[in-house]
Chain A
């Protein structure tokens, strides 16, 4: 039987406020345990939550970026359950009337665009952490993370493959970092994904029973976990079993998912409006002002790059995978007037080198002006591709500009016809066998001869000219 995969994601986005959602405690990562747990996070008797304005502001920005409805009346609810990392015994969250509803996010899978619907996103507080090591069989509770603001972004079950799920997660990651509302640091838990996965026979209208994979903190784990889960569900059904609704955890070491709790153990959260907090009202004026203040979004910028710089949609998508990268590209493209070349270099050499060295584009040793200097010299024929790579390496290692490196290392491409003719004649004279083969109709032999010429020129001869002159000399007997 052929199976269709159905995936919906719930992403916990930590908003990058300096203070907690309901107190003035710091949200900085990595502090000594419980030094950033104020009276409110400790849930001492008598303390009360006071809402952080920046959480609302940042949420509105995401809502607008997702082309969503911003609810102008927001209610906070208590979600009740007991857990040591949840000090109040309830999480302040939103149930009815979340701040964001009915959004959409366009993803690119291969060359295909697809719109994924965003059901809702609601504001809530993060929990603390349970540490299991080194406490003689006990768990240690650190409440520093408790109260960090979260937006939980819930998608419709619109994804049909692990690739689509990853593309959606990446697109959302791009968006929240682009907007500057989340630092996007997945290792530190700033962006955590839960995946609801089910399978159904192709053509069946109803969804299969889903299992929820909790807390995936890298795109790789997300993909691995979903792939494993899909196969497990298909195997289970094909072996005559039934899928039971459950929450599962992914173990990166084994690459498997395992049951955390079944539906029978599902919590009865007893949501009700939090009486300590009044409705948050958002005015149309505030929404309009935020809209006017929105940056150009990845999708808009992508379209503009295609239009203005003539780059392909695929390249434009890569270029707009982060705001820093897009801005880098645009500076180079604008300075050189060479959009395609700039795109090739930013998506190619720059991306590869940064990746190899584990750097972000913001830390790229080659600034936009120096890359532009290189591209100008490629465009005007001063540098062959090969020489350009040499110059690129030198740019990476030094502070010099492209022209200074070309000068210093004598890397200027030789385009002087006389000089090239001389080298061609020498090559023909030295390689009678290759000449004979070429004349016998073996086109490849020409490359061998060209190679000899390039070698003789130490790579500086203009390759196109070399080809032309070689052909000319060999055909005129």
Chain B
């Protein structure tokens, strides 16, 4: 299978990465090459194999419910692009 320009535009949109019309051809062809490589997987039979999400078969450790984090707003907001009254500012969020 091969991605169309429309597919590439949809993936770029889902990824929130602007891809210009000028770039879309090259991006699409690279993605198609990579997907071609990935397609090799389909040749192997994996029926009945349990998917492996993680190297070790261990269970999650749970922490006790306690407040341990101090307020570090000032230090953290020192690297923020736009802040006012302790809030991160962004273009209007429309619902």
A277 to B72, CA, bound (A): 25
Contact B90 A141 (CB under 8 A): yes
In the complex, whether B95 has a CB less than 8 A from a CB of chain A is: yes
Residues of A contacting B: mostly = loop
Contacts of A275 in B (CB 8 A): 53-54
Contact A19 B88 (CB under 8 A): no
Contact B72 A52 (CB under 8 A): no
Contact B62 A138 (CB under 8 A): no
**What are the 4 A-B residue pairs with the smallest beta carbon separation, nearest first?**
A24-B68, A140-B87, A54-B65, A53-B62
Q: Which residue of B lies closest to A141 (CB)?
A: B88
A37 to B69, CA, bound (A): 9
Contact B54 A24 (CB under 8 A): no
- Chosen A-B contacts, 7 in total, with CB atoms closer than 8 Å, are A33-B85, A53-B65, A140-B88, A141-B87, A141-B88, A141-B89, A273-B53
Q: Which residue of A lies closest to B51 (CB)?
A: A273
Contact B73 A53 (CB under 8 A): no
Residues of B contacting A: mostly = loop
In the complex, whether A50 has a CB less than 8 A from a CB of chain B is: yes
A51 with B63: in contact, given A35-B73, A131-B87 (CB under 8 Å)? Answer: yes
Segment 131-150 of A: residues with Cβ below 8 Å from B: 131-132, 135, 137-143
Contact A37 B73 (CB under 8 A): yes
A39 CB contact (under 8 Å) in B67, B76, B90 = B76
Segment 53-67 of B: residues with Cβ below 8 Å from A: 53-54, 56, 58-67
A51 to B77, CA, bound (A): 25
A249 to B95, CA, bound (A): 9
Segment 257-294 of A: residues with Cβ below 8 Å from B: 260, 268, 270, 273, 275, 277-281
Segment 8-33 of B: residues with Cβ below 8 Å from A: 14, 16
Contact B65 A25 (CB under 8 A): no
Q: Which residues of B contact A (CB under 8 A)?
A: 14, 16, 53-54, 56, 58-69, 71-73, 76-77, 82, 84-93, 95
Contacts of A37 in B (CB 8 A): 73, 76
A24 CB contact (under 8 Å) in B56, B69, B76 = B69
In the complex, whether A36 has a CB less than 8 A from a CB of chain B is: yes
Segment 89-134 of A: residues with Cβ below 8 Å from B: 130-132
A139 with B89: in contact, given A39-B76, A260-B95 (CB under 8 Å)? Answer: yes
Chain A proximity of B19: nearest CB distance (Å): 16
Q: Which residue of A lies closest to B58 (CB)?
A: A278
Contacts of A277 in B (CB 8 A): 60
Contact A34 B59 (CB under 8 A): no
Segment 32-51 of A: residues with Cβ below 8 Å from B: 32-40, 42, 44, 50-51
B66 CB contact (under 8 Å) in A19, A36, A143, A279 = A19
For the A-B complex with A37-B76, A138-B82, A279-B60 known, give 15 more contacts whose Cβ atoms are closer than 8 Å.
A17-B65, A19-B66, A19-B69, A25-B69, A26-B67, A32-B86, A38-B69, A52-B65, A55-B65, A137-B92, A138-B92, A139-B92, A139-B93, A278-B59, A281-B60
